[in-house]
Structure 1
Amino acid sequence: MKEIDPAGRFSAKSVRSAETRQNGDSGNLNEVARQVAAQYRADTLSPVMVCGVLHLIEFGVLFLSGIALYAFNVSFFSHLVWQYLMVIAVVSAVAVIILDILDCYQIQAVMRPLRSLTRILLGWAGTFALMAVVAFFLKISSDFSRLLFGTWFAVGFVLLVALRLIVSTVLRRWARNGRMERRAVIVGGGKAAEVLIRQLEQQPYNDIRICGIFDDRDDVRSPPIVAGYPKLGTISELVEFARIARVDMLIVSLPLTAEGRVLQLLKKLWVLPVDIRLSAHSNQLQFRPRAYSYIGAVAMLDIFDKPITDWDSVAKRIFDIAFSLLGIVVFSPIMLITAIAIKLDSKGPVLFKQKRHGFNNEIIEVYKFRSMYTDQSDPTAKKSVTKNDPRVTRVGRFIRKTSIDELPQFFNALFGSLSLVGPRPHAIAAQSHNLLYTEVVDGYFARHKVKPGVTGWAQINGWRGEMDTDEKIRMRTELDLYYIENWSLWFDLKILALTPIRLLNTENAY
């Protein structure tokens, strides 16, 4: 194994000695690329999530300190207890909101607390000023202890500063050891990539870790090492790399004038569940400010955003756990009866496990009630189940028609390999007319940008059951992509509510 330093850089000697890159779009990663991918296989903490949690922590610190001072100065439960609790809670919440408005929760501000002291003081003081104005107009200021709130102002500010100092120390340690970072791959090499990398490295407290460079051009036009980072392979190999490594962002370092090449790259890369940005540092065209996002001061054009990230993913996971538990409780009698019927009807296990493609093309194992004779089961799904298929048992025909065979997938959703709502996962070798689904639909794997689901928008719109024509595959994929692009919790709830109604149509289920 070659040595890789923490920044992901290699020496020219190590790159050349390990260089086994194949010509063309082979999709086989070379030794160096596999080393780097393995190094970045573990998940990281999102800076957005970390700063979001800090909101909650600071609210808790302010609220608890206010309650403690109230108990010490006024004596708990002796005077205006509910009024004090409400005021302390509202003031704590308003303080967090104002600090957020003042950009005190940006990762740069959190990691440099001493530089944001003025804004923290301004936000905390502004909160008390607002409280005083409200109390004056409501004519209730005389009911509350000025000593208590004066003490709370001083103590709260000290606690905020102390907490920020502790948090900044922890975050810097996490940034150094790679626990909290955004991992980026540069698409396109040469001088443009070098200029971009230099600019990114100059940004103070930058949370971007560059994993490497991918470029289709040969080493003459695109050097094997740029600014200390290796060229790891071609664009097609990048897709395989991103299936292994936990990459957050692809930054295309090509000018907009290379429109044809940019479009060619995006056609290959849009199927990945990552943010795709076009570096604007070399573009002469100017767009409105809202069109840009920034890494420090480096402008980027947003091309694609990773769907369902950060707090959206947390909300969706809570949704899955809550409704999966509800589904297991409600349908447990049906699942028990089904298990007994399967056991009495034919020999073999009650459950059937099938390998399918999950999020980012990971192979997952999906649970179903067994509906076929054990010796005729088809785990690879190379041959679709057809009407009056002799492989299906008597009980199997009923549970497939009513979708009872899918009920064990509530446990998949509970454990996290599936979501309750999402694109339905297909078997890894599923075919249509002896062609894999990927060969039928261009961009088919874009369905895997989110976690697959027990039910989905395609099934709600009637595209369930046998996929015996290319048109059915295309329509299902199109509806799945619509779901990904328009996701919301309300959309999930709508699909979940409509699922029992749509299951009454059993025309294509057999």
Structure 2
Amino acid sequence: MEHRRIQLYAALFLFDIAILFGSFWLSAAILVGQTPSMRAIQVMQFTIPIFVVIAIYNRLYSIQTLENLRHALTRLAMTLAVSAMLFLVMTFYVGSTTDFARLTFSTAIVMAFVAMLLVRSVFYWNVRRNFAGRVSNVLIIEDGGPHIDLPGAGRVTADSAMVENAHTDPEALDLLGRTMRDMDRVIVSCPIERRVFWTRIMRAAGVHGEVVSEALQELGALALEREHGWSFLVVSAGPLGLRARLTKRVIDLAFTLPAVILLSPLFLIVALLIKLEDGGPVFFVQPRMGQGNVMFDMLKFRSMKVAKLDSEGARSTSRDDDRVTRIGKIIRRTSIDELPQLLNVLRSEMSLVGPRPHALGSLANEKLFWEIDSNYWQRHSLKPGLTGLAQVRGFRGATETEGHLTDRLGADLEYIRNWSPLGDLKIIFATAKVLVHPNAY
């Protein structure tokens, strides 16, 4: 397989060089009507060496680029972009430029990207069809551990007697060495008492070795860190990075500040109607669990009678709940009662998009939420949201069954795993479709 990979790398590299030549040649022919164009040839002579160096540095020809199309296209875009910028710095910035060269160069780069994209798509589907999507040599050695299923991986079962005698039997070591030779990865599934043995064998064989661990599977370990001679399991990724947090905050403020200004007349009208109905407080303030399992006071327009307010949230609101006021029915049905949480967003206690904060006493099938699923607390790794993935999927209203809770929890954890700025924007715009919802009561 290693020889076949080298062939694929070489073919892909030659295609890339040919595409660059062809793109500059064709660009000059289309824009100038001159073939060959000496100016296009000069630009091409500068660009191709830069591209080759950046491509090798950026690992444009690697196992992952053959097996993962998205990764390949990302690397390709980065390589062409960096190559173009370096060319501009080295030539255009010092004044050796003409309008013809700029136009030819830009057109050629775009044409090259499209053509290289198509070539990589063909290579990717060829790998999937002819090599089951894998161009790396992966061997799974089964020695009494859990069954591991990896598509395209080879598999052997270790002989127990041979394993026991391998420490003192050169022939057994020879057999193991031949089995592992030329493998890109060797994965051993064995009982815990034989992990040290297999570790020593794989290190001696000089292979990339891995040992399956059921304990790590249960922990959901993400990575392994080493410092001062100690090894540490990474079991939690921590909060979003600084750039991601800033991006999320900018999105929050970009929508929240105009919304508060535009909706301020509605705020005043709703507050006046609540006061006129029974003279009670305008806001209902309830402690909720926020990011990092830290409590905060969440704001809502009061929609229930003062004497029947449920500060713990133990009783979910039903469709014909006698606790809801007349104005409360309207603002709950239209989700207007949630608008004061825009102030929580401004105070950075909440975000526009995130897992909805639940009342601490909320129940499903007479159980507290965290008693139903031990992963419940993981939803607090991000700021709670005014809306979320669960809400736009229609998971709203009373939590009468455990399934109502697990549906919402599954959506919340999916959102946390796959967070992106584009995802937040999609949820914000999708929320407009579910502001009035049959389960909003």
Question: Normalising by the residue count of structure 1, what TM-score does the alignment of the two structures yield?
Answer: 0.45
Q: How does 1:52-451 map to 2 (within 5 A)?
A: 130-131=89-90, 134-138=93-97, 259-266=213-220, 277-279=223-225, 304-451=236-383
Residue pair 1:352, 1:369 contacting (<8 A) in 2 also: yes
Structure 1 residue 300 displacement after superposition:
7.8
Q: Which whole-Å CA distance do the structure 1 matches of 2:324 and 2:432 have between them?
A: 23
Checking the alignment, whether the CA contact within 8 Å between 2:290 and 2:384 is kept in structure 1 is yes
Q: Please give the secondary structure, in 2, of the residue aligned with 1:466.
A: coil
CA 331–297 in structure 1, closer or farther in 2 if over 3 Å, else same: farther
Q: 2:438 corresponds to which residue?
A: 507
Cα deviation, 1:209-261, whole Å, max 9, x if unaligned, reads: xxxxxxxxxxxxxxxxxxxxxxxxxxxxxxxxxxxxxxxxxxxxxx9758233
Per-residue Cα deviation, 1:235-289 (whole angstroms, up to 9, x for no partner): xxxxxxxxxxxxxxxxxxxx975823333444xxx8xxxxx5324x6xxxxxxxx
Q: What is the alpha-carbon distance in structure 1 between the residues aligned to residue 235 and residue 360 of structure 2?
A: 29
Change over 3 Å in CA distance of 1:128–1:458 after alignment to 2: closer
Which runs of 5 or more residues in structure 1 are unaligned?
Answer: 1-97, 103-125, 141-254, 271-275, 282-294
| 2:347 counterpart letter in structure 1 | F
Maintained 8 Å contact 1:373/1:393: yes
1: CA distance, partners of 2:265 / 2:332 = 18
Looking at structure 2, the residues matched to 318 and 433 of structure 1 have their Cα atoms a distance apart, in angstroms, of 39
What is the identity, as a one-letter code, of the residue corresponding to 1:410? Answer: L
Q: Deviations over 1:45-84 (max 9, x none)?
A: xxxxxxxxxxxxxxxxxxxxxxxxxxxxxxxxxxxxxxxx
CA contact under 8 A between 1:347 and 1:373: conserved in structure 2? no
> Of 367, 392, 399, which residue of structure 2 is paired with 1:467?
399
Deviation at 1:333, TM superposition (A): 1.6
Q: Which amino acid aligns with 1:262?
A: L
Work out the CA distance in 1 between the residues paired with 2:290 and 2:319.
27
CA distance in 2 between partners of 1:133 and 1:388 (Å) = 72
* 2:252 and 2:352 in contact (8 A); partners too: yes
> What count of residue pairs does the alignment treat as equivalent?
251
String of CA shifts for 1:5-24, please: whole Å, max 9, x gaps. Answer: xxxxxxxxxxxxxxxxxxxx
**Do the aligned residues in 1 keep the contact of 2:219 with 2:235 (CA within 8 Å)?**
no
In the alignment, the residues of structure 2 paired with residue 297 and residue 496 of structure 1 have an alpha-carbon distance, to the nearest angstrom, of 47
SS in 1 for 2:288: strand
SS in structure 1 opposite 2:96? helix
Report the Cα distance in structure 2 between the residues aligned to 1:297 and 1:132, rounded to whole angstroms: 49
Letter in 2 for 1:277: A
Q: Give the secondary structure class of the aligned counterpart of 2:256.
A: helix
- Quickly say closer, same or farther: Cα 1:130–1:437, change in 2 above 3 A: same
Greater share of residues in helix: 2
When residues 429 and 133 of structure 1 are mapped into structure 2, their CA distance, relative to the original with a 3 A threshold, is same
Which whole-Å CA distance do the structure 1 matches of 2:390 and 2:412 have between them? 6
Match of 1:137, SS state, is: coil
- Specify the SS of the correspondent of 2:94: helix
1:16-44 deviations in whole A, cap 9, x for unaligned? xxxxxxxxxxxxxxxxxxxxxxxxxxxxx
8 Å Cα contact 2:91-2:97 kept in structure 1:
no
- Residues 1:480 and 2:416 are matched in the alignment: no
Question: Given the superposition, is the C-alpha separation of residues 432 and 299 from structure 1 closer, same or farther in structure 2, using an over 3 Å criterion?
Answer: closer
2:306 partner amino acid: T
Give 2:321's aligned amino acid. D
Say whether the 8 Å CA contact 1:347–1:374 is kept in structure 2.
no
> What's the secondary structure of 2:390's corresponding residue?
helix
Alpha-carbon displacement from aligned partner over 1:345-376 (angstroms, at most 9, x marks no partner): 11310001011111111111100000111111
Q: Which structure exhibits the higher relative contact order, with contacts defined as CA atoms closer than 8 Å and separated by 6 or more residues? A: 1
- 8 Å Cα contact 1:361/1:445 also seen in 2: yes
Q: 5+ unaligned residues in a row in structure 2: which ranges?
A: 1-53, 59-84, 100-208
The structure 2 residue matched to 1:458, chosen from 387, 390, 415, is: 390
Structure 1 position 500, deviation (Å): 1.6
Q: Look at both structures and tell me which one has the larger radius of gyration over its CA atoms.
A: 2
TM score, norm. by length of structure 2: 0.52
Q: Deviations over 1:108-153 (max 9, x none)?
A: xxxxxxxxxxxxxxxxxx989935664342169xxxxxxxxxxxxx
The 1:259–1:127 alpha-carbon spacing in structure 2 relative to 1, beyond 3 Å, is: closer
Amino acid at match of 1:502: V
Shift, 1:305, TM fit: 2.6
